[in-house]
Amino acid sequence: MDRKQFLTRSLKATMGAMVAGPVILHANSCASPEDPGNVAETGPSGAGIGPLVFAQAPLAYAYAALEPHIDGRTMELHYTKHHAGYVRKINEAIAEEKIDASDEIDLFARIPAWSTKARNNGGGAWNHDLFWKLMGPGNTGTPSGKVLDAINASFGSFDGFKEVFTDAAMKRFGSGWAWLVEQDGKLVIGSTPNQDNPLMADAELRGKPLLGLDVWEHAYYLNYQNKRNEYVAAWWSVVNWDVVAGRLG
Ligand code: MN3
């Protein structure tokens, strides 16, 4: 088959597997036998010029499912406007700059090589995909098992951990993210500006992201106005700790 057929075929195969997860599509990845599923609905048609294509995975819950902690209107705008915009613009940047990264790890590991547009929108696309998956309705608000053990070992207690994480979220001036990362087998808390993330080669905080909190005003202003502290406090109720456990090595 020619290159266009190959791209289309492998893209559709990846899209089929995507409902459950990855935001990154590799045009050069191996085709899988899964049914393409709802490609027309979610496929980034027109993208795919470069070897790496980002797509917006469907939300696993309704916009209003996180109420009263995070309101439906904020979720809808955040997903359909902000996140969708980052995904569109990183694909533009990949095409414009002929970015040859093979996957998101490679993209972020070499991020200083490319434009601010690639950095901000690549980070925005990836960070939000993780953020949606880290939340959901019907959560207990507290971790258990190996995550709780790791938190206790690093921070003394879950309350102690929440205090340090909240402090990182509150002290991030302007827009950015608070993170819990795994760094050489240890858990570390910190934050990054803008849409930077700990996978970026020159990020202020480096490591494997386990938990991330969006502290841009667009994430909370409709419901909480300037009260970031109330948003952070409410957010614990919607964290899906099973996803954190799955990311912990
Ligand atoms: Mn955001």
Ligand 1 centroid from CA 31, angstroms: 32
Helix axes 145-155, 158-171, angle to 10 degrees: 70
CB 43 within 8 A of CB 55: yes
Taking residues 80-97, report their average pLDDT: 97
Taking residues 223-232, report their average pLDDT: 97
The residues pairing with 209 across neighbouring beta strands, listed in sequence order, are 181
Ligand 1 centroid from CA 73, angstroms: 13
121-158 pLDDT, tens digit per residue, is 999 999 999 999 999 999 989 999 999 999 999 999 99
Ligand 1 centroid from CA 121, angstroms: 11
Ligand 1 centroid from CA 4, angstroms: 33
Could you give the angle at the alpha carbon of 167 between the alpha carbons of 133 and 77, nearest 5°?
40
Ligand 1 centroid from CA 6, angstroms: 34
- Distances in Å between the Cα of 155 and the Cα atoms of 161, 163, 180 are 5, 10, 12
The DSSP line for 94-129 is HHHTT---SSHHHHHHTGGGS-HHHHHHHHHHHHHH
Identity of the residue numbered 87: V
The DSSP line for 40-57 is HHH--TT--SSSEEE--P
